Amino acid sequence: MNNNKTTVETWDIEIKPQSSLFDLSLKEVWRYKDLMLLFVKRDFAAQFKQTILGPVWHLVQPILTTIMFLFVFHTVAGIDTDKIEPILFYMSGITIWNYFSSCLTNTSNTFVANASIFGKVYFPRLILPLSVVLSNIARLGIQFGLLLACMIFYALFKNTPIHFGISWLLIPLLVVIMAGIGLGLGIIISSLTTKYRDFTVLVTFGVQLLMYATPVAYPLSFLKSKSYASFIEWNPISPLVEGFRYALFQKGNFDFNSLIYSFLFMVVVMVTGTMIFSKVEKTFMDTV
């Protein structure tokens, strides 16, 4: 009866049970950019309230881990470090790996950890994992500063000059790919944990195991001629860690094709992740 309406009504929001797989409104995410930055600020400010050392705590973990690696992998196991100063070798690996692992673990509990906010108010859910990735950049910056300080120390007193070169331009690219893989995997896992908490358990030790399958504490060249070397090479994080060291020290082997492999892996993970995420975000409150 009412079908012959002359004007078609336009609606700003339509709430429907299901949406197409690619119902990702980046425009909306952009509109909420202030919120994203405030979450970053909150994470950073709240983390060290009522501590004396504050953000200095971000330095303690890489220093202690470096000392540990130095002892276990260098002194005890005697693994050679690609002609890079062992301390710089371990610290560079730990710095970039920390970024990846914190992106992954902190985004993987997005839904469960923020259920109380998500249950009360709507904003594009993707804001939260994105803010995690951004606030981890601050931490990466601090730890990278520590690494630079060590490199300068070695250049001044130990006669290992720093090679500034075009290769340093690779670093931002590596960080972006790292963030992409961490974010992509993180949101896939966070989508699955809303129903099955089993994945939370898996992530905590899975990340730890993955570190040993990544050339963080040993160079990829150490594995040459070993039967399981290809396994480590298939790990999409390996080229990123190796590439990071190559960019800093111009030592070690780095091959551009493997970087492309990592990049493609990131694209696949990001696309799958956002697809699953946007499907789950609509009703996860009922199952979380």
Partner 1 sequence: MGAIIKVEDLSKQYRLGQVSTGTISHDINRWWHKVRSKEDPYLKIGETNDRTSTGNSEYVWALKDINFEVQQGEVLGIIGRNGAGKSTLLKILSRTTAPTTGSIKIKGRVASLLEVGTGFHPELSGRENIFLNGAILGMTKKEIARNFDEIVAFAGVERYIDTPVKRYSSGMYVRLAFAVAAHLEPDILIVDEVLAVGDAEFQKKCIGKMKDVSDKDGRTVLFVSHNMGAVKSLCTRAVSLKHGSIDFAGTVADTISAYMQSNNDLSLHTNLEELTDRAGNQKVVFSTLHLENENNQQVDKILTGSNVKLVFRLKVNDPSVRQIDLGFSFHNVYDDIQSYLYSSFQKFEIIPDRSHYITVHCTLENFPFSEGRLFIKGRMLADGYECDWPKDVLGIIDVEYGDFYKTGTVISNIAPFLINGKWALAN
Please report the DSSP string for 143-196 in residue order. Answer: HHHHHHHHHHHHHHHS-------GGGGHHHHHHHHHHHHHHHHHHHHHHHHTT-
Is residue 6 at the binding interface for partner 1, with CB under 8 A as the rule? no
For 84, the token pair is: 């890079």
CA dihedral 147, 214, 265, 23 (to 10 degrees): -70
Of residues 18 and 257, the one with the C-beta less far from partner 1? 18
Of residues 82 and 281, the one with the C-beta less far from partner 1? 281
Q: Which stretch binds partner 1 (CB under 8 A): 11-19, 83-91, 97-105, 148-156?
A: 11-19
Please give the radius of gyration of the chain, using alpha carbons only, rounded to the nearest integer. Answer: 22
Give the whole-angstrom CA distance, residue 251 versus residue 242: 9
- Judged by CB under 8 A, the residue of 97, 99, 118, 218 near partner 1 is 118
Binding positions for partner 1, 259-288, rule CB under 8 A: 282-283, 285-287
Is residue 5 at the binding interface for partner 1, with CB under 8 A as the rule? no
CB of 134 to partner 1, least distance (A): 15
* 229 Cβ contact partners less than 8 Å away, ≥ 6 residues apart: 220, 223
Of residues 40 and 216, the one with the C-beta less far from partner 1? 40
* Count of residues that interact with partner 1, criterion CB under 8 A: 38
CB of 58 to partner 1, least distance (A): 18
Binding positions for partner 1, 27-66, rule CB under 8 A: 31-32, 34-35, 38-39, 41-42, 45-46, 49-50
- Judged by CB under 8 A, the residue of 2, 4, 10, 257 near partner 1 is 10
CA-nearest of 239, 126, 139 to 184 is: 126
CA distances from 152 to 1, 148, 158 (A): 80, 6, 10
DSSP, res 217: S
Give the whole-angstrom CA distance, residue 203 versus residue 221: 28
- Judged by CB under 8 A, the residue of 13, 166, 169, 209 near partner 1 is 13
The residues that touch partner 1, with contacts defined as CB under 8 A, are: 9-18, 31-32, 34-35, 38-39, 41-42, 45-46, 49-50, 116-123, 195-197, 282-283, 285-287
